[in-house]
Every structure is written in C-alpha cells, then in structure tokens.
Amino acid sequence: MSPSMVLSTAFASIFASKLRSALTLLGVVIGVTSVIALMSIGRGAQDSITSRISAQGAELLFVSLNFAADDAESLTLDDALAIGASPDTHDVELVAPVLSAGNAEISLGATALTTSATGITSEYFPVNGYDLASGRNISPADISARTDVAVLGSNLAANLFPGQEATGQQFSINGRLYTVAGVLEPIGGFTRVDDQVFVPITTAESRLAANTAPGDQLDVSQILVKANDADSIDAAAEQTDAVLRLQHGLDFGSTADFTISNSSGIAETLEETTDVLVLFLGVVGGISLFVGGIGIMNIMLVSVTERTREIGIRRAIGARRLAVLMQFLAEATVLSIGGGLLGLLIGAIITDQFSGVQFLNTTFDAQMSVDIAILAMVVAACIGLVAGIYPAARAAALDPIEALRHE
C-alpha cells in the first residue's frame, strides 16, 4: 500500500468511530496541554524571579557568614564601617549592613499583623534602588540614638493606615510605640519588601532581635556592598575581601569565614535551580501524556479485536503483514498527532491567559517557546507510535484463516 492509501485508510477507520476516537484524543489533548501550560508558566515564573534579582544591579555584592568555616566569627557593624572607611576600597560606592530581626507583631487599634522586621542604616535603600513615596529615610542620628522610628513597605502602610497618610503617625511593634518616618514606593517581587518594616539597625539589635549583650559588637546578618559600576565589581569584591580578612585576622589564601557573591551569580544559581522546577513541571504534564498513550493502546487493541474478520479478508486477498502493521501504526500516530495539535492550541490559549497575571505585585509573562511546543509534539507522536506498536503487531500476526472464522 502507498503512504497516501495508508493514511486515507487510517482516517476512514478513525472517523468510522467518531465518539471513541474523540475520547481517545482527549487523553493526548490533556497531556500535551499540561506539558505546554505547566512548562510555559514555569518558565515565565523563572524569568520573573531571575530578572527581579538581576534588576538589583550587576554592581551589588552580598557578604554573608560562611558557616562551613572553622571558628567562624560573626559579621559585625564594625566590619561594614571598616569596608566603607578603608582607603583601599576605592571601587566601593556604598556599604549597607543588614540585621534580620525576625517576625514582629505590628498593631494599631483593632489591626494586628505579623511581618518581618529588618534593621538597616541610611545606605540600605540607595544600595537596593528603593525609593521613598513619602517621608524620610533612616538617618545616622536615628542609628546613634536608637530612635523608635520605622520606614514601612507600601502594603504594610496601606493595611495600617488605609486611605491615610502614614508618615508621622504612630503604631506598635511588639507592644512598643514607633513613629512612621517614611513609606516606600511599591517594590513587588518575591522579597516581600512591600510588607516589611524597617527600623534603625541599633534599634533592631536592642529592642527587636535582643540577642546581643550590652557592650558586645553589633552582629549583622548580611552586608551589602555596592561597587561604583558593573565593570569594577570584581575589584570591589577583592578589596572587600582584603578588608574583612584584616578585620577577622585571617591570612590571605586561607579559608575565609565569610562569603562574597554578586547578584548575577545568585541569578545564575537560581536559574539553574528553577530549570529543575520547570523540568519537573514538564514531567508532571508528561505523566498525563503517558496516560493518554495507554488510552490509545487500549482503544487500538479493541479495534483489532473488532476488525479481526476485516484483517482476515485483507490478508486473504493478498495484503501483506507489513501493510496491516502500517495501517494500525498510522491510526495510532494520527490519533496522537491530532490530539497533540489540539493540545498545542489549548496550551497556547492557557499560556496567553496567564501572561500579564499579577501575583505578589509581580507581573508573570508565561512564555510558550518553540522548543516547548516541539518537545510536546515529538513526545506525543512518539507515545502514539509506541502505543500502537503492540496492537499493530498483534493485528499483523493474525492467521488469515482463523481471522476469517472470527465472529
């Protein structure tokens, strides 16, 4: 039989049982739709996360404690001051120590919230590129006097003071009154900055974190270092490393008790991690596609049983086993590819509907790329082909005489 005749015979057999064929297609449609929708949404989320981190700037360094090092010392406020004051750190523009004070109970009248409290200096917002919508930043005077003032994220300010100007008003953190010094512009993203409260780092250390005894050095969670520009990021990292080694009494070349990373490196690491997530989502969708393949095999086996006499007649008038084999393989492949094309269309519609969706103040742009579409279609075709092999081989192996006797 010619290829055109094989295909025409396959289409004729499929359309002869429209309802059964439609139900068989449904499994493949759901599988391909799942693969495309999940992977497209996953890739959109991946790009949103990595771009958000990259947006902090290629000139930003993150200094953290290396817990794997032996006898690791804490990072302190003095370390941050030393980096900023050193004459050797001429490629460093700003230094911002950060103290994560954990969860804090925020209250005002009948409103009670739990959110993250962060101790900062005046350099924190400029380093991260955050702008104030109203009020003022934390000042050096606030740091020195351990003032009870706070800068609120936009969501937190709206929840505490709906429809009001928050700056200058008072609220409670863990039962103690604080005055709102300023409110940030909406930031968005997964950092939840819009829901956080920021206080002077000394205030956080003495009243919120409360884990350092009086007279001890002020320990910090992290130090942010901003280089003059992206081209000087490596030089700034080397200069920061040198200053911190002197501060901690470490030899050059020895294992440091701190780590220095930049935003691009974190973005690359996160992208590798989210690649695994996208792949996992594809596998989840692929399970549905595999189930659809089982449905094709089941229906093809039923078709072989129902058409046993037809197969016997064809063999009796001279049809070869290969012709019978190709016919049933063609039917299975047509079903899988047809379901794949329909699933491709539905997946594209779902992906389009998810594009531009707002979540955590971040706009997701689901991306249905060509490689995802090709992958889904190739897998669908292969599953259909594999699912049709056993039924086709069973049909081709039928004895013509026995097939003619079949009722």
The pLDDT tens digits of the residues spanning 220-266 come to: 999 999 988 878 888 999 999 999 999 888 888 788 888 888 766 66
Residue 366 has pLDDT above 90, yes or no: no
Q: Could you identify the residue written with the tokens 């953290």?
A: 64
Token pair in block for residue 392: 């086709």
Q: DSSP letter for 76, please.
A: B
Distance CA 31, CA 377 (A): 10
Computed from CA positions of residues 177, 182, 184, 185, in that sequence, does the dihedral angle turn out positive or negative?
positive
Rounded Cα distance, 301 and 307, in Å:
10
Domain boundaries, the chain: 3-53+271-405, 73-256
pLDDT band at 364 (very low <50, low <70, confident <90, very high): low
CA distances from 264 to 61, 84, 166, 234, 237 (A): 9, 22, 35, 12, 13
Looking at every residue in the chain, the average pLDDT score rounds to 81
Pairing of strands 111-120, 197-200: parallel
| Among 142-151, 191-200, 225-234, the least confident range | 225-234
Q: What is the mean pLDDT of residues 53-82?
A: 78
Higher per-residue pLDDT: 315 or 102: 102
Q: Please give the pLDDT value at position 161.
A: 94
The answer, yes or no, to whether residue 193 has pLDDT greater than 70, is yes
Closest CA to 155 of 183, 136, 177: 183
Tens digit of each residue's pLDDT (9 = 90 or more) over 86-144: 998 999 999 999 999 889 999 998 889 999 999 999 999 999 889 999 999 999 999 99
Residue 191's closest CA among 75, 360, 58?
Answer: 360
Q: How confident is the model at residue 19 (pLDDT cuts 50, 70, 90)?
A: confident
40 neighbors 347 (Cβ within 8 angstroms): yes
Distance CA(129)–CA(119), nearest Å, equals 17
Confidence (pLDDT) at 330: 81
**pLDDT over 70 (residue 211):** no
**Residue 337 reports pLDDT greater than 80:** yes
Contacts of 344-350 spanning 24+ positions with Cβ under 8 A:
344/32, 344/36, 344/373, 344/376, 344/377, 346/29, 346/33, 347/32, 347/33, 347/35, 347/36, 347/37, 347/40, 347/376, 348/36, 350/33, 350/36, 350/37
Position 375 pLDDT exceeds 90 = no
Which DSSP symbol is given to 257?
Answer: S
Q: What integer is the mean pLDDT of 48-63? A: 69
Of 196, 177, 194, nearest to 185 (Cα)? 194
Cβ-contact 75, 64 below 8 angstroms? yes
**Residue 294 pLDDT:** 81
Minimum mean pLDDT range among 167-176, 195-204, 390-399 = 390-399
Backbone angles phi, psi at 356, to 5 degrees: 85, 5
Say yes or no to pLDDT of 362 above 70: no
> What mean pLDDT do residues 289-311 have?
76
- What band does 270 get if pLDDT is binned at 50, 70 and 90? low
**How confident is the model at residue 98, as a pLDDT?**
95
Phi, psi at 208, each rounded to 5°: -110, -55
Whether pTM > 0.75 for this model: the answer is: no
Is-contact 88 245, C-beta < 8 A? Answer: no
